[in-house]
Chain A
Amino acid sequence: MTTDPSYKKLFDMIETEQVPTHIFDAVVSRIHHYRTIRARIYLTAHIALVAVTIASLIPAIQYVTIEATHSGFMQYISLLVSDSSSIISNWKDFSLLIAESLPILGSIACITALFICTNSIYRSLKYIPKVTIKRYA
């Protein structure tokens, strides 16, 4: 179906509404407001995570210490420091002993908590300027 160009000519005369001038600025403000709120939420969440991971580090470190003491890891380390020559001559057996006595679970807990903590601190620092930045001109 083809339509005559007279219809196009007709609609060129249509009265269109003038766009209210405030709409553009209103949208820009709304975007800025949304970004600020979102940054505040993320910042709060990351600060909370930092607090939780720091709090969890204390028992994690205590657990590592207890685990290391019970498994004999601490004793082996002090032996390495005090009598290194005999350790070096029996390094294969000593390595196996160290590996067996490693406080694995506690170490994993500490490393994980440290990683999450530092990551959250980094992200918190990233969000701080977004929370306080002035409106985009």
Chain B
Amino acid sequence: MIQTDEELVLLSKQGDDSSFQELMRRYLEPIYNFIRQYIKTEADSDDVTQDTFFKAWKYIKKFKDGNAFKPWLYTIAKNTALDHIKKKKAVHFSDLDDLGHDVDFADTIKDLEPLPPEIFERAELAKELNQALETLHPDHRAIMIMHYHQDMTFEEISEIINTPMNTVKSWHRRSIIKIRKYWNKKKR
């Protein structure tokens, strides 16, 4: 019988190593890919991923029963990644804050148009998508990955990145528009 995350957390709190290792196996890949949205080098991403799971193990006894494990883990991952960036000073921290809080045209759009089907016929679609994502702010990029690739709700995402849900939706909208603009430029 497959145990839920919360059941595994409960066992981990009681000192069961195999339960914590099962949680690691479940989340290693998504957390690693989430961290890669913030940290580009493989070596640094390795370190931050290790730090994330070590911290999760160390503080698991403080994890409140009844809460969802996934957002908690992702929050640790994000904070660890940002701490690492600050330490390395690879990016000016003010660059990470440059999210454009002003309401613009994107926020007034209710529904976004579907992608044109010919996009899916492009030979290097995956590579181009990664390049398109590179043009986004790390938080916006993380939102797109978490929502579309890791099937997280906007509510979970807002909890992880500690941002109001409407702001998350607004950033999501802008990211989609930016990605579409990227492809429109590629067409020309």
Give A residues with C-beta under 8 Å from B: 1-17, 19-20, 22-24, 26-28, 30-31, 34, 136
Contact = CB atoms under 8 A, between A and B. Distances in A.
B114 interface: yes
Given A26-B50, A30-B50, A16 B176 contact: no
B33 A16 contact: yes
Contacts of A17: 32-33, 36, 42, 45
A12 B173 contact: no
A27 B130 CA distance: 29
A2 B169 CA distance: 10
Given A1-B112, A4-B112, A4-B113, A14 B57 contact: no
Interface of B: 17, 21, 24-25, 28-29, 32-33, 36, 42, 45-46, 49-50, 53-54, 57-58, 109-115, 117, 119-120, 125-127, 129-130, 133, 144-145, 148-149, 169, 172-173, 176
B53 A27 contact: yes
Contacts of A26: 46, 50
Classify the interface of chain A: helix, strand, loop or mixed: helix
A15 B126 contact: yes
B9 to A, nearest CB: 16
B119 A10 contact: yes
